[in-house]
A and B are shown apart, each in its own frame.
Chain A
Amino acid sequence: MSWFESGWGLSLIVFLPLVGAGVLLLIPKSKEQVVKTTALLFSLAAFAVSVVVLLQFDFDGTEAFQFGTDLSWIPAINSRYHIGIDGISLPLLVLSTFVLVLAIVYSWDHWPEPRNPKAFLVLMLVLGTGMNGTFVALDLILFFIFFEVVLLPMYFMIGIWGDRKPIRLPGWKRDVETRLYASIKFFLFTLFGSAFMLLGFLALSWKAGGTFDMVALSEMGRAGVFAGAFGQWVFAALFLGFAVKVPMWPLHSWLPDAHTAAPTVGSVLLAAILLKLGSYGFVRISLPILPEQAQDWAPAIAILAVIAIIYGSLACLAQTDMKRLIAFSSVGHMGFVMLGIATLTDVGINAAIIGMVAHGIITGLLFFLAGSMQHRYHTREMARLGGAMKSMPIIGGILAFTAMASLGLPGLAGFWGEFMALLGSYNPLDGLSLGVFRTAMVIGAIGTVLTAGYLLWMLQKVNLGEVPEEWRDANFHDADGYELGAWVPLVLATLAIGIFPKIVFGATDDAVVNLVENISRAVGG
């Protein structure tokens, strides 16, 4: 299977969804069943290939890039089709293919208005190519392309299938539908960030003599080629691009709007995968290529991260809309991920990666649940909900389980990311200010309490108590087969990672240790 290991396996994972989207376009709209089956088959195929990659992955050498290839792509600018995965990208790649399958399963019977499953599935598959591609790209331009490919499908998803509730924006004379506002806001914010990211990439390549190869650039970064003020500017440009995507406070304001307005599956994919593209960018590009600047910026990132944790939690407590609450919870959780990255230690970065995976699984599941609740109640106002444990015991039960996972209950997936990020910030990389990081740790720990607070508060509003008068005769049906088909795997994954975090650490640890060694060597020498 040498063809498989020399690039074809990863290329299949990346492009199978895109091919699927092309095939879907050829199937007439009226044959809905065929359309859905084809989409599912292509996403399953991509997932299956990623499982094969997982099984064949050499876990003894996770710091090396595997399954890669390096082909000529755009010789005129020295950009190459260079792909490969190491222990850091592997879990995220598998997560991405996995969540795409579940999203399609969930969609099977839950089409947001105005239906049109064909177009919706085409967009989802294109999104899949963008997400998978970002995690395997080892060339800056290739990375940029995949990073941007996700924009268009998500823009259309929010704009066409999004929330039609009119909102009044400050300073506007007329109401505007949420979906219209949220879709363009998402697009503009992200494009703003990535325009500067591209400038950063170009500056790097110029300094490095024209190459866009991440591996080569990392080596140069270690050798100090990008030292000094030049590197600071480049780091700032890349920071803008990635921080908008994560999103880090204060660039987060697109997130609550986009997540709330998006259709259920859109929110799931946004939360589960798209946010990870930003934090992955930090780990894959900023840290290895600009280690010294990473050290300079680390305290600032840590401070922004704890602000995000506290701000996200407080904002959650102020929400009346269940979906918006979950959206704001992402700001807080991604704050823990960024705090982990900022420590520049193996503990912290491992925490960040398991945090990304766990957040993908758990928050994805929360958005699924919120979507299904809205499907039944036709409202997300928590004040009007209640008693879900009585009226819908399965959905209510899974919601309770997921909320526990999200607040970081030991034994479930959410615990490791939060706990280890705090642990890492007790003892950050040598040379980083202990004062800043230990303060960050304490504030972050307060954040975990607030997190528990708002999630329990949400559970109390939605799950507990008597069924309100309004819904007493509604006779909701509990979770159906498609819903369970999408949720049970996520529940199982939450449990599995919670109990055996080695599922993730086994892949990431060597790669992270290697990364941290390189950083400390570059900084020390």
Chain B
Amino acid sequence: MPSFDYHALLPEFIIGASLLAAIVVDLVMPPERKYLAGVVGLLGLVAASFPLLTLATCGSIDGCDGGLPRSMFGGSYVVDEFALVLKGLFILTGVVTLLLSVGFIESDRYYEGEFYFLVMASVAGAVIMASSRDLITLFVALELVSGPAFLLAGWRKGDLRSNEAALKFFLIGVLSSAILLFGMSLVYGTTGSVTFEGIRAATLAPGVALAEEPVFVLGVIFVLVGFGFKISAVPFHFWAPDTYQGAPLPVAAYLSVGSKAAGFVGLLTLCYLAFAGVRDIWGPILWLLAALSMTVGNLVALRQTNVVRLLGYSSVAHAGFILVPFAMAAALDADGLGDAFFGSVTYLLVYAFMNLGAFAAVMAAAEKAGSAELDDFGGLSRYAPGVAAMVALFFFSLAGIPPLAGWFAKFVMFRAVLIESGNAWAVGLAIVAAVNAVIALFYYAKVVKAMYFDGVPDRIDADAAGARSLARPLVLAIGLTAAAVLVAGFFPQILAFFGDATRAIALGG
């Protein structure tokens, strides 16, 4: 195999080319055609998904040599099943984000092309992230995800909230990067290696008890804390609701799915590959983060009166749910680790669809009702029954009510932690998660209650509000995600298949 595998890098090349194309289109097009930059980006992302398919099926295509995994640059960059699945997820997130943005950013009438460029750049970072298998590539990819996102969060520069969102996000983002980098340097210093393979070998080397080396342990903890900020786990979550509320809604959708998933990819690969030998360091820490994130996220969400803020706290709680399978890793054998990995990845896949859909539906509802305040959603079902039904669909899916896809995410999460169902810690976490699932229902149902059971507030003119039209790309995005949530609810295998494909990565532990 050549050391420079063009086939394996094709998705990254296509995304890179199309993000440059987008900025060129932006330069040459008159203002009313700027949306074409978004279209170029969209087409680029769709085109980038084809090499993923050829890579996945390479073994069965004539004239295509090389199966998975494809390892490059001395093991620093690997394209395996996990990378392909997550790249697919990031590209899809990018597509949906662009669909949400086209109508939304157009109405603001400034810097349209740059917006699409930045979204594409962030997606490119996430796609690289999925293949990163050393600390440096991982860090560069993570910065490529976050950097554009800082700018995007502050897109509405006339809006104070948007400024606050961007500034908070930027300061916290830089702080967390610094912590992460410091942790990485400690890990490198104690193991002498930046590749995950090398770190793992160092931790498993006979005669060296790295797990008892305070500097190394501190490094691991710093790395976890750094990622804790990225995935907005409690107690590193406080920036998330403010940022989501202030940022333009498509950006909030992207942050809560794309950039959060990128954080989880880093955490997954680091924990299960690099730190596989020291699971008793990160397992208990993540147990605590999971329990805290679920509980605090849900309890605070109960008090929210703004639906976007509510989604912000709900995404904190979901970060906790995704962390649950990590928690018992120290006690698991190889099969168990595979199941835990499968649990987190599948949860992430389901979560991506339903949370993108939830943001899209809330965007549509806010368009109709005039704001995203809970009170203004009152009686939405009277004048916008379709939009109300979609919000209800996604919110109940987030709550995990069958037959919507969310149940399966909750299910694999419980399953992963109950592998150790003889262990009191595992059962305890499962019970915390179960109680939280019920608490979460209450605030999701609160939104549904406002839309369906309450009357239309006086300040809203139902006829005029009902007549407001929605941007067609937004409707398309809602349709796509809703179909995914419904179909995956009845046939979870279509997502579980992809989650299952990734589990091989964890079996080596």
Binding site for B on A (CB under 8 A): 73-77, 141, 144-145, 148-149, 151-152, 155-156, 159-160, 179-180, 183-184, 187-188, 191-192, 195-196, 198-199, 202-203, 206-207, 230, 233
Our pick among B411, B422, B438 for the contact of A230 (Cβ within 8 Å) is B422
> What would 16 more interface pairs be, CB under 8 Å, given A183-B449, A184-B442?
A74-B492, A76-B499, A145-B402, A160-B453, A179-B453, A188-B441, A191-B437, A192-B435, A195-B434, A196-B434, A198-B411, A199-B414, A199-B430, A199-B431, A206-B418, A206-B419
- Which residues of chain B come closer than 8 Å to A191, judged between CB atoms? 401, 437-438, 441
Q: Which 4 A-B pairs have the closest CB atoms?
A: A76-B496, A195-B434, A148-B402, A145-B402
**CA–CA, A75 and B411, complex, Å:** 14
Report B422-455 CB contacts with A as 1/0, cut-off 8 Å.
1000010011001101100110010001001100
Cross-chain contact A199 with B438 (CB below 8 angstroms) = no
Instruction: Give Cα A76 to B503, complex, Å.
Output: 11
Task: Give chain A residues whose Cβ lies under 8 Å from the Cβ of B453.
Answer: 159-160, 179-180, 183
CB distance from A210 to the nearest CB of B (A): 10
Contacting pair A195 B437 (CB below 8 A): yes
Q: Knowing A76-B500, A77-B411, A203-B421, say if A159 contacts B438 (CB, 8 Å).
A: no
In the bound complex, CA of A198 to CA of B427 (Å): 13
C-alpha gap A108/B403 in the complex (Å): 28
Is the C-beta of B493 less than 8 angstroms from some C-beta in chain A? Answer: yes
Give the docked Cα–Cα distance between A179 and B454 (Å): 11
Contact of A144 among B402, B431, B442 (CB under 8 A): B402
Chain A residues with Cβ below 8 Å from B414 are: 198-199, 202
Q: Within the assembled complex, what's the spacing in Å between the Cα atoms of A198 and B445?
A: 21
**Which of B414, B442, B453 gathers most chain A CB within 10 Å?**
B453
Whether A199 pairs with B418 at a CB distance below 8 angstroms is yes
Count of A-B contacts judged by CB separation below 8 Å:
90
Contact A151 B449 (CB under 8 A): no
- The yes or no answer to B156 lying at the interface (CB within 8 A) is no
Q: Would A184 and B402 be within 8 Å (CB), given that A196-B434, A206-B419 are in contact?
A: no
Q: What residues of B have a CB within 8 angstroms of the CB of A152 in the complex?
A: 396, 401
Q: For residue A204, which residue of chain B has the nearest CB?
A: B421
CB of B244 closer than 8 Å to a CB of A: no
CB proximity of B437 to chain A, nearest CB, Å: 5
User: Mind listing 16 A-B residue pairs with CB under 8 Å?
Assistant: A74-B408, A77-B412, A141-B411, A148-B403, A148-B407, A159-B449, A160-B452, A184-B442, A187-B445, A195-B434, A198-B411, A198-B434, A202-B421, A206-B415, A230-B421, A233-B427
Determine if B497 is an interface residue (Cβ-Cβ < 8 Å): yes
> Nearest chain-A residue to B342 (Cβ)?
A76
On chain A, the residues within 8 Å of B500 by CB distance are 76
Please give, as numbers and ranges, the residues of chain B lying within 8 Å of A144 by CB-CB distance.
Answer: 402
What are the residues of chain B within 8 A of A156 when measuring CB–CB?
452
User: B411 contacts which chain A residues (CB < 8 A)?
Assistant: 77, 141, 198, 202
Interfacial residues, chain B to chain A (CB-CB below 8 A)? 342, 346, 396, 401-403, 407-408, 411-412, 414-415, 418-419, 421-422, 427, 430-431, 434-435, 437-438, 441-442, 445, 449, 452-453, 491-493, 496-497, 499-500
Closest to B415 in A: A202
**Whole-angstrom distance between the Cβ of B409 and the nearest chain A Cβ:** 12
Q: Which single residue of chain B is at the shortest CB-CB distance from A240? A: B434
> Is there contact, CB below 8 Å, between B402 and A149?
yes
- Are B493 and A74 neighbours in the complex by a CB distance under 8 Å? yes
A180 and B449 in contact, given A148-B401, A188-B442 (Cβ under 8 angstroms): yes
Interfacial chain A residues near B419, Cβ < 8 Å: 206
CB distance from A482 to the nearest CB of B (A): 27
Closest to A141 in B: B411
Minimum CB–CB distance for A172 against chain B, Å:
15
Please name all residues of chain A whose beta carbon is closer than 8 Å to the beta carbon of B415 when the two chains form the complex. 77, 202, 206
- Among residues of B, the one whose C-beta sits closest to the C-beta of A129 is B403
Question: When chains A and B are docked, how far (Å) is the Cα of A199 from the Cα of B433?
Answer: 10
Q: A199-B418, A202-B415, A202-B418 are in contact. Are A145 and B452 (CB under 8 A)?
A: no
Closest to A205 in B: B415
CA distance A74 to B403 in the complex (A): 14
> In the bound complex, what is the Cα–Cα distance between A187 and B408 (angstroms)?
19
* B418 touching A149, Cβ below 8 Å: no
| A75 engages B431 (CB within 8 Å) | no
Are A76 and B493 in touch, CB under 8 angstroms? yes
Docked CA distance A192–B430 (Å): 13
- Min distance, Cβ A414 to any Cβ of chain B, angstroms: 34
Q: How far is the CA of A118 from the CA of B441 in the complex (A)?
A: 26
CA distance A184 to B453 in the complex (A): 11
User: Measured between C-beta atoms, what is the minimum distance from A75 to chain B in Å?
Assistant: 6
Q: Is the CB of B493 within 8 A of A187?
A: no
- The complex places the Cα of A156 from the Cα of B442 at a distance, in Å, of 14
The answer to whether A76 and B442 touch (CB under 8 A), given A160-B453, A179-B453, A184-B449, is no
Docked CA distance A191–B400 (Å): 10
Most buried by A among B346, B435, B445: B445
Q: Roughly how many angstroms separate A30 CA and B415 CA in the complex, as a whole number? A: 46
Given contacts A156-B452, A159-B452, A202-B414, contact A192 B438 (CB under 8 A): yes
The answer to whether A195 and B407 touch across the interface, beta carbons within 8 angstroms, is no
A183 and B442 CA atoms in complex are apart in Å by 11
Distance in angstroms between the alpha carbons of A202 and B449 in the assembled complex: 32
Within 8 Å CB of A192, what residues of B?
A: 435, 438
Q: In the complex, how many angstroms separate the beta carbon of B240 from the nearest chain A beta carbon? A: 25
CB contacts (< 8 Å) of A207 on chain B: these are 421
Q: How far is the CA of A77 from the CA of B414 in the complex (A)?
A: 12
Residues of A within 8 A of B412 (CB): 77
Nearest chain-B residue to A133 (Cβ)? B403
